[in-house]
Structure formats: structure tokens, C-alpha cells
Amino acid sequence: MDTTTVARVRRELLISFIDLSFYTADSRRTDDDERLAGIVDAYYERVTEKVQGAGGVVVKFIGDGALLVFPPERADDALFALLALKADVDRWLAGEGWESRLVVKVHAGTAVAGHYGGRGEKRFDVLGGDVNVTARLATRGVAISAQAFRLLSAEARKRWKKHTPPITYIPVEDRHPSDIAKL
């Protein structure tokens, strides 16, 4: 995906927001700012590697969060990469003694992709209502919208189950919160 073009273009995209749950609490327990910076930088490297490997772009990092986009025709690759990223980050952070876990939200829709910012400071970004829809998906783990689910191949759809309301899809192996309450 070319991010160097100055013109702004309305595009169909697979849009993802990720962030770390409990990051603030974990960062407060980390007295060494250099260690904290090293953990965040290593997290950024993991994210960038997985996203680029699936044909996506890290639009921006925002503290412990990131806005990611993928071409819709790479939906299977994107979702499998994001699931692998979650497993990797969760395992790695647990090994660091952190409670934080990766939260992944994915939606498909349109956005205006291009360069935005002050004169001489323009950077690639994506803006639009579907970006906001992505940010508002409710999950404590992984959730994809019905629009993102529809982009998946029949084989990839087998990894997801419907979760309502509103309709999102979660990994088959994840439990519904009401199932956990019954334990």
C-alpha cells in the first residue's frame, strides 16, 4: 500500500485499532523509564513486522495503541496476522510480568487516505466515519465487524462466531462473558 502519495483518495480498507489493556497500570509499576521505553519499542517492532507481513500499513502509533490499515483483498492475511500478533504480544508481556493484553478491533469500510497536518509536517493518515466505527467496537480481546467478516474466505470464516449485540465476530475458542459468569 503506497503511503507516499500527496493526493487524498477515498478507499475501501480493512481498518484496525489495537491497544494494550491495563497498560497504564503496568507502566506505573515499571519504575525504570528506559525499561518502559524498551518494552514499548519492542511492541512497536512486533506490530510493524506482523502488519507489514500481511500487506498492511501502521498508520500511526498512539502510546500503547495503533491505527492499522490493510487492503480488503488481504483480509484473510490481515486477520490471521492480527490473531498471531495478539498471541505473540500476550505471551511476551506475560513473560515480562505485565498484565496487559492486546485488544484488537477490525472493521471494513471507506476512509479518505492521504497526508494531513501542518505545513511541512503532513503525515499519512486515514479519516472517516468507518475509522470511528472501528474504534467503537466493543471487546476486551478480539472483535471484527460483520463488514470485515464478509471479506473473509469461507475457510477463514470458520475461525469466527457471531457475538451480539451489535453483531461482531470473535475467535471460536473465546468464551462469551455470560459463559464465564456461569462457572
For the stretch 117-160, pLDDT in tens is 999 999 999 999 999 999 999 898 999 999 999 999 999 999 99
* Residue 7 pLDDT: 85
The whole-angstrom separation of Cα 103 and Cα 131 is 16
* pLDDT of the residue at 182: 53
163 falls in which pLDDT band (50, 70, 90)?
confident
57 part of a folded domain: yes
**What are the two backbone dihedrals, phi and then psi, of residue 88, each rounded to the nearest 5 degrees?**
-65, -50
What total of structural domains would you count in the chain?
Answer: 1
Asked if residue 4 belongs to a domain, the reply is: no
The one-letter code for the residue type at 101 is R
C-alpha closest to that of 50 among 89, 106, 12: 89
Q: Please say if the pLDDT value at position 177 is more than 60.
A: no
Average pLDDT, the chain: 91
CATH number at residue 54: 3.30.70.1230
Banded pLDDT at 178 (limits 50, 70, 90): low
Contact 105, 17 (CB under 8 A): yes
Q: Which residues contact 85 (CB under 8 A, 6 or more apart)?
A: 18, 46, 47, 50, 51, 102, 104
